[in-house]
Amino acid sequence: MSSLAIAGGKPLRTKPFARWPEFGATERTALIEVLESGIWGGYSPAVDEFERAFAVFHHASHGVCASNGTVTLEGALLAAGVGPGDEVIVPPITFAATATAVLRAGATPVFADVEAHYNLDPERVCEALSPRTKAVIPVHFGGHPADMDAILALAREHGLTVIEDAAHAHGASWKGNSVGTLGDIASFSFQQSKSLTAGEGGILIGNNAELVGRARSFFNQGRVPGRGWYEHIHLGTNQRMTAWQAAVLSAQLERLPGQLERRAQNAAYLNQRLSKLDFLEIRPPDERVTIHSYCLYTIRLRPEAMDGVDVAAFTKALAAEGIPGAGYYPHPLHHNELFRKYAFRATECPRALAACRDMFWISHEVMLAGRDDLEDFIAALEKVASGVKELAGA
């Protein structure tokens, strides 16, 4: 095998992967409609329309858009009455916002370890409970729904609010039920890196009108329906989504079913091909997952086959070979400097620690690729793995 690109060899591939996000005439038309309507802000029929369409897509009865998927988590927590003195259980394998939203609500995050699919482990959630626990935020990591049966049972028993962080899980489902309707309220992000995007944006959906309504009031300066523009009933802020974002999102939502289908087909192909490579471990989804949205396709490197080479070195070498979209978390979330400045509790998280050494992902753009692109991806994995000696010495 030739020398690795990262060590000065020739890259396996120089052709770019297809551009993300995909867009065309529908997005252009929708944006021009907003332009010509003269209604560019959050009080726009385009926002109402997307709110309804996204909720309906997930079989939820209510939705409220906001400017991003971080404030939606804050809004959900505040709507659930979470505040100072309360604890909220979160996983350590997630983006920072899952836990910083808890701090911003004045409450304390409590980190509980993940299971084999990098989602909150219900048994560890059980150990993390205290009399102060008010809510739990399962993250559907990568688009693989968390074990909602066990988490909901626990939540019902202990009177906890369940806030789904579905930032990776647009269109995913668990036992035939869409994410976003499994817990009490669910938060999605439309930030650039997500599998449904307008560059920035977020939404809360759910079947609890009161919860979603309180969040709406928070995003909209504490206003409530039926009262005037200058009537502020609650302490709120302005986190309204703009008409531009909503128009793009409505057009993008039409593309989502086809994209989910392509990603599922590519994942099935990769599962079959990659499970033959002895330096990797591919974990098939939990049998109760009916749609994995593959915002991230996770791969575990077998440390014993890798000569001490970790995911940091491996993904860097993969990028040098011309494969985009590989990522990993360098440490569990609660090991970030930020959290040392705040009170938080963490139970032992050995699985999260291991995941930061040996788990990486390929993002959804690559999961939309054609078969030839996937072949290059597989060849690059094999090339980098066969060059670990070179890497270890680099």
Ligand X SMILES: *Cc1c(COP(=O)(O)O)cnc(C)c1O
Q: Which of 134, 144, 168, 170 is catalytic?
A: 168
Q: Is 195 in the site for ligand X (CB under 6 A)?
A: no
Dihedral pair phi/psi, residue 195, rounded to 5°: -85, 0
Q: Which long-range contacts (CB under 8 A, 24 or more apart) does 43-48 make?
A: 43/240, 44/242, 44/243, 44/246, 46/243, 46/246, 46/247, 46/250, 47/240, 47/241, 47/242, 47/243, 47/246
Of 218, 128, 144, 229, whose CA–CA distance to 179 is shortest? 144
Q: Is 191 in the site for ligand X (CB under 6 A)?
A: yes
CA 311 from chain centre, in angstroms, equals 20
Task: Name which of 94 and 298 has its Cβ closer to ligand X.
Answer: 94
Task: Name which of 163 and 211 has its Cβ closer to ligand X.
Answer: 163
Q: Identify whether 95 is a catalytic site residue.
A: yes
Q: Is 294 in the site for ligand X (CB under 6 A)?
A: no
Q: Identify whether 272 is a catalytic site residue.
A: no
* Single-letter residue type at 151: I
Q: Is 70 in the site for ligand X (CB under 6 A)?
A: yes
Task: List the one residue from 34, 46, 136, 139 that touches ligand X (CB under 6 A).
Answer: 139
Q: Is 202 in the site for ligand X (CB under 6 A)?
A: yes
Give the C-alpha separation, 72 to 15, whole Å.
Answer: 38
Give the C-alpha separation, 387 to 79, whole Å.
Answer: 52
Tell me the β-bridge partners of 113. Answer: none
Task: List the one residue from 189, 221, 266, 293 that touches ligand X (CB under 6 A).
Answer: 189
Per-residue binding string, ligand X, 156-175, x by CB under 6 A, is ---------x-xx-------
Q: Identify whether 194 is a catalytic site residue.
A: yes
Task: Name which of 11 and 285 has its Cβ closer to ligand X.
Answer: 285
Task: Name which of 27 and 165 has its Cβ closer to ligand X.
Answer: 165
Q: Identify whether 230 is a catalytic site residue.
A: yes
Sheet with 289-291: strands ordered across? 177-178, 173-174, 289-291
DSSP codes of every residue in 107-142: -EEEE--B-TTSSB-HHHHHHH--TTEEEE--B-GG
Q: Which tokens sit at 335?
A: 């090991």
Task: Name which of 317 and 366 has its Cβ closer to ligand X.
Answer: 366
* Count, residues near ligand X per rule CB under 6 A: 14
Q: Which of 223, 292, 351, 383 is catalytic?
A: 223
Tell me the β-bridge partners of 53. Answer: none
**229: Cβ–Cβ under 8 A, 6 or more apart, which residues?**
223
Task: List the one residue from 68, 220, 245, 363 that touches ligand X (CB under 6 A).
Answer: 68
Residues in 89-118 that interact with ligand X by CB under 6 A: 94-95, 97-98
Q: Which of 117, 124, 240, 351 is catalytic?
A: 240
- 341, 389 in Cβ contact below 8 A? no
Report the nearest approach of ligand X to the CB of residue 308 (Å).
30
Report the nearest approach of ligand X to the CB of residue 190 (Å).
7
Catalytic residue ranges: 95, 165, 168, 191, 194, 223, 230, 240
Residues near ligand X (CB under 6 A) are 68-70, 94-95, 97-98, 139, 165, 167-168, 189, 191, 202
